Structure 1
Amino acid sequence: MKLLQLPECILGEFEATATPKFAILSNCRDNIHLRGGKRDISSSNLHESFANSWIIKAADHLALLGIYHIWVAEVCIGSADEERNEAVNGLRQRLEKAEVCFVYLHDLPAGVSYDQDVWAKCTFWKQARALPDLLIPPRVEFFDQGWAPRGSKGSTELASLISSITNISTRVLLDSSTLTDFGLGVRISWAAGRTASLEEDLIYYLAPILGISMQTRYDEGREQAFLRLQKKVLRDCRDGSLFGWLSSDEKEVRGMFSKSPDEFSHFAGPHKKYQWDGPWPMSSKIRFCNRGLELQVQTYKLDPYIVVDIGCCEANLSQLKHRRVGVLLRNWSGVYVRAKPAVQSVVFSTAPFQMIDVVQHLDARKASKIRSYFESQDNSSSLMSISQVEKHLTTTLAISTSPRDVLEAGSMPGISPNEDTRSGNATPTSVQLSTGIKRGRSGRPMSSPGSRQEQAGPSSRSYRRSHSDSESSDSDSDASSESEYDDYDEYEDEVIELDPNHPLLVIRSNLVDFVYGQGKSWMSSATYTTPPQDRLPPKKRCRTIDDQSSPALIKYEEGADDHFIARRFDGFYHLACPYYIAKPEKYYKSCLLGHSLQSIEDVIGHLIQHHKEPPYCPICRREFDSPWVRDQHVRTRTCAVVNSGEVDGVNERQRRKLRKRDRVRLGEETRWTRVWHTVFPELAPPESPYLHDGVDVAVAMMRDYWATRGPKLAEGYLGDSAQLDSHDMQTLDAFYRLVLDDLLAKVWDDVDFRSGSGEAGSSETV
């Protein structure tokens, strides 16, 4: 590293491991760029050249701090390619190692107070080089045109003033270590509206803010440099806010990447659309291919477009758990391009994953050609017109003060903009949404338990291959198995409770007592058994109707005289959660009453979603609610080392193994045992993976009873107590779920089942 030694003004080069204490001088008066400084003078006359310069004046202040070496752009950057690359790629490390960064505001009048109007006129705030100089160094000192100290960015008053001028959060100004807590879209927005003497330098100064390094290619232009930066960033993260940019022309046709940091300006400033500043978790899988970007992403059909989910913007945690954002894509010759790039959609439901190819970048000529093609298609096609689509889309992503307003806006794929998309003043269209709705991962409202057989039948994801498929190679099984569980990874279903004054809740207790009496009577005579281990999944866990004349579930056994004996029974045992068996005192009630596991896919999905290893301190083994809180704790370095102490949960390594080791061809018990060995490699597996004793099987049987007969009993009971026509299916579905919760709670509290004196039904084992 080249440093200028003071007061002699001798330029020297130092090894990275032997760098003396040094300061960085930041000055926008000469508008120095990273391509090379103004070092057109020899080392012998540097002191003479700088005799009356601002560098010598800075030296007087640095001497008070015991610092006699400085890094300044116009002296320490040469014109050679190696020096330019070092200046760009070593910028972050250089700023972090510096003892202090002096910012000389040559156009700030001496003695002026903290008047925002006066300070905002300083050209430093609009320079690209100001961004890393403000954010990365732990200590930044400001001086006015008379070289009088004006304060440090670490002071609350000055940090607040700088934040008002630059739209940069005071949190990162006061603590540079929090930089990574901000999403990519927010960090890029800090570069919006800034200038540099060479347009590529705007991107090179942004790179260390995003935590990457870039090769310098001057004369390529800002757009190409920004495209390279986005590709580089995308290889190392899955922050969907990188795709959250907005164009000023909604009729444009674009690629997936932005052209300028200015298109991220809505992430900060007066027109800020998102209260959440953190990363947007994006559950998609992304890879680069010869057709652009290959995305395995959740999509929503809206002819002639698709809405692609680009991540979860947890904007209002107290009112709505997940608030996701989508962008519009349109098919062109087998690949997708971004259409209406000035529009975004609020996404509240979930949808299946789909593999699509999206163009990364379009030049102006090709974009114009595609745009003309789309316009001709819209004029001649019977598909939904652009104006009709606009009625279903919105660009209003500002946080609603009312959770009801947010939910109303989210019941459609999107809402149309009523005003300028960049103004932040659009008004969402209000759509009535029934209360008490739970939406499944398919994006559709979940039907009543009777119709969808939530408890009785296997999961809709459970078995999609025929018997011949189950004999396929392990590699095929691997690929399919991993895709089966992708939608378990990030989000839980969102449940909207019924209003406490809803009329159905008045009869809730009486209905529960009525159904429980009927169910307990059925359970006393019902027969359950283990499913056949013929490597095929059981078709059903329970009979679906009460008609005794219809075929019951039948198990065939070979008799003594080589005859097959048919035994009638009512259902198969449900599978147990491995954590429930290994640590019943901790997970007994929550796993048993909260989840029904009717397939191995259900077991794996349950482990991934509900038994994920929590963030914990590797030093003291303390658990935390979020990685951010854990990291804050670790940074304090105040805890003591604890060598013992177990942290429950499936870690990332186990999560991958759960997906890859599952084999449908092995049979249910063997597959469950594999799951056990993955989660608890040092513990011996239990004799059975099923819930077959006491209250365990009683809870499972009550689930099955409610799923197969409960809604019919409830409808008959409610027919005399309420007008069912006044309640839609979604409201009834929410009510039925509350009834099921009460039924399971009564089974749990029933002394007969817990003591074993009234054990449910009879059991048979294979």
Structure 2
Amino acid sequence: MGPLYENWQLGTAQYSVGLCFPGQEMIPESHDSDEDDMYLFDMSMQQPLDLGPNYQFTNELTMFTLRKFIPEILLRIGPHRGARSSTKSKKGSRTHERTMNLGATSLPPMQNYLACPFYVRNPEKYLSCLTRSSLREIKELKQHLWNAHQLPRYCPTCREIFTTSRECDTHVRRRSCSIQDIPRPEGITIEQMQQLARRTDTRVSDRQQWKSLWAIVFPGTDLREVDYSSRAVELVVCLFRDYWSINGEKVMNDFLGKNRRACELVDEERSFTPLYAAVLHQTIDSLVEYFRHEDYNGMFGKAERILASLRHRD
């Protein structure tokens, strides 16, 4: 995806990271439209399940998960972490490229994830798009944009934001506010939604479709103008989501097998499912806290220090 794309060669396969990230699952939909994707904007995001009052051991399970996962980072990047690293500049943009040839580990090949354009433009403000949104297909990204980034109701004069159209209309009709020199709230308008809903030729790659969505969401903003530094956090989150999708249930069962009290509380599937999601999110939050300000060159050392600290707590 242009100058922001990162290429990592792990073993014999090459995986694309950078504008590809993972989080929150979509509610499956059985119907489709032959003309456009408007039906996506009538679908709601799946709400998190309630853990209830009895999961005081969630933090302990998260630490257990981190102790299992951090060694996988070391296995991934350790053998040839200095194999090749280059940074190229062109017209103010940055391209970061790293190639690593690693042996096989218990981690499955990373799956591609699509980054939210709002996160790419402002990672600090829209961090939840990385931590809570799992976007593997263009349709999922379109749905996320409407559900998570719909333009809020606001007064065009004073820029106050309202929760309902009625409140906003009442405020505007009163004409009692004054002009405020503050930016208009960010968000997807109805017109942009209609543009997003247009179907793209299936022969067009996801990369090109993503660029088209960027042009709709941020018209006139060149991707090359976005300063996207070579941070480790997106890669780490990608790795963990794929690790958890394969090993999550086993990790939880291992923990429950060693903790009789916890096992007694999680005695049925409806208790296991929200706990599984909670540990996923809480572990991602911890990883983001650890690696948020690290670049690729500092990943290995950081992972070593984290693992040593976690083991010291045992």
Q: Same fold (TM over 0.5)?
A: yes
Contact 2:155 2:161 in 1 (8 A): yes
Tell me which of 299, 302, 306 is aligned to 1:758.
299
Deviation at 1:652, TM superposition (A): 0.4
Task: Say yes or no: does 1:637 pair with 2:175.
Answer: yes
Tell me which of 71, 74, 96 is aligned to 1:521.
71
**Cα distance change on mapping 1:694 and 1:734 into 2, 3 Å:** same
State how far apart, in whole Å, the 1-side matches of 2:73 and 2:140 are.
Answer: 24
Deviation at 1:509, TM superposition (A): 2.0
- AA paired with 2:44? Y
Contact 1:596 1:700 in 2 (8 A): no
**Cα distance change on mapping 1:720 and 1:608 into 2, 3 Å:** same
State how far apart, in whole Å, the 2-side matches of 1:498 and 1:642 are.
Answer: 43
Offset from partner CA, 1:641-671 (integer Å, 9 cap, x none): 4576222000001001101043332111101
Q: How do 1:4-23 and structure 2 match up within 5 A?
A: none
Query: Percent of aligned pairs with the same residue?
Result: 25
Deviation at 1:724, TM superposition (A): 6.2
Offset from partner CA, 1:366-390 (integer Å, 9 cap, x none): xxxxxxxxxxxxxxxxxxxxxxxxx
**Cα distance change on mapping 1:480 and 1:693 into 2, 3 Å:** farther
Match of 2:284 in 1: 744
State how far apart, in whole Å, the 2-side matches of 1:523 and 1:695 are.
Answer: 12
**Count of aligned pairs:** 248
Task: Say yes or no: does 1:621 pair with 2:165.
Answer: no
Contact 1:576 1:597 in 2 (8 A): yes
Match of 2:59 in 1: 509
Offset from partner CA, 1:6-35 (integer Å, 9 cap, x none): xxxxxxxxxxxxxxxxxxxxxxxxxxxxxx
TM-score (norm 2): 0.68
Tell me which of 254, 275, 299 is aligned to 1:716.
254
Structure with more contact order per residue of length (Cα contacts < 8 Å, sep ≥ 6)? 2
Task: Say yes or no: does 1:733 pair with 2:273.
Answer: yes
**Cα distance change on mapping 1:494 and 1:748 into 2, 3 Å:** closer
Contact 1:677 1:685 in 2 (8 A): no
State how far apart, in whole Å, the 2-side matches of 1:732 and 1:506 are.
Answer: 14
**Cα distance change on mapping 1:645 and 1:676 into 2, 3 Å:** same
Which one has a larger percent helix, Structure 1 or Structure 2? Answer: 2
**Cα distance change on mapping 1:495 and 1:513 into 2, 3 Å:** closer
- AA paired with 1:729? E
**Cα distance change on mapping 1:513 and 1:686 into 2, 3 Å:** farther
**Cα distance change on mapping 1:618 and 1:549 into 2, 3 Å:** closer
Tell me which of 190, 204, 215 is aligned to 1:666.
204
- 2:246 match: secondary structure: helix
- AA paired with 1:571? M
Match of 1:571 in 2: 110
Contact 1:573 1:697 in 2 (8 A): no
Tell me which of 36, 50, 56 is aligned to 1:482.
36
State how far apart, in whole Å, the 2-side matches of 1:591 and 1:675 are.
Answer: 16
Q: How do 1:241-280 and structure 2 match up within 5 A?
A: none
State how far apart, in whole Å, the 2-side matches of 1:486 and 1:647 are.
Answer: 25
- In structure 1, list runs of 5 or more residues that go unmatched: 1-454, 465-477, 528-547, 554-569, 762-766
Contact 1:573 1:692 in 2 (8 A): no
Larger radius of gyration: 1
Deviation at 1:625, TM superposition (A): 1.8
Match of 1:707 in 2: 245
- AA paired with 1:742? Q
State how far apart, in whole Å, the 1-side matches of 2:72 and 2:105 are.
Answer: 16
- 1:482 match: secondary structure: coil
Offset from partner CA, 1:441-475 (integer Å, 9 cap, x none): xxxxxxxxxxxxxx69x97869x9xxxxxxxxxxx
Contact 2:233 2:292 in 1 (8 A): yes
State how far apart, in whole Å, the 2-side matches of 1:753 and 1:583 are.
Answer: 14
Which one has a larger percent strand, Structure 1 or Structure 2? Answer: 1
**Cα distance change on mapping 1:620 and 1:661 into 2, 3 Å:** farther
Deviation at 1:638, TM superposition (A): 1.0
- In structure 2, list runs of 5 or more residues that go unmatched: 1-21, 78-103, 304-314
Deviation at 1:718, TM superposition (A): 0.5
TM-score (norm 1): 0.30
- 1:506 match: secondary structure: coil
Deviation at 1:683, TM superposition (A): 0.3
Offset from partner CA, 1:731-752 (integer Å, 9 cap, x none): 10001111112101110111x5
Deviation at 1:493, TM superposition (A): 2.8
- 1:758 match: secondary structure: helix
State how far apart, in whole Å, the 1-side matches of 2:225 and 2:187 are.
Answer: 23
Deviation at 1:526, TM superposition (A): 2.9
State how far apart, in whole Å, the 2-side matches of 1:679 and 1:578 are.
Answer: 8
Offset from partner CA, 1:88-123 (integer Å, 9 cap, x none): xxxxxxxxxxxxxxxxxxxxxxxxxxxxxxxxxxxx
- AA paired with 1:758? M
Deviation at 1:512, TM superposition (A): 1.1
Tell me which of 565, 580, 588 is aligned to 2:119.
580
Match of 1:695 in 2: 233
State how far apart, in whole Å, the 2-side matches of 1:657 and 1:706 are.
Answer: 35
Contact 2:62 2:282 in 1 (8 A): yes
State how far apart, in whole Å, the 1-side matches of 2:171 and 2:160 are.
Answer: 10
Task: Say yes or no: does 1:498 pair with 2:42.
Answer: no
Contact 1:592 1:696 in 2 (8 A): yes
Contact 2:69 2:240 in 1 (8 A): yes
State how far apart, in whole Å, the 1-side matches of 2:229 and 2:235 are.
Answer: 5
Deviation at 1:576, TM superposition (A): 1.1
Deviation at 1:522, TM superposition (A): 0.7
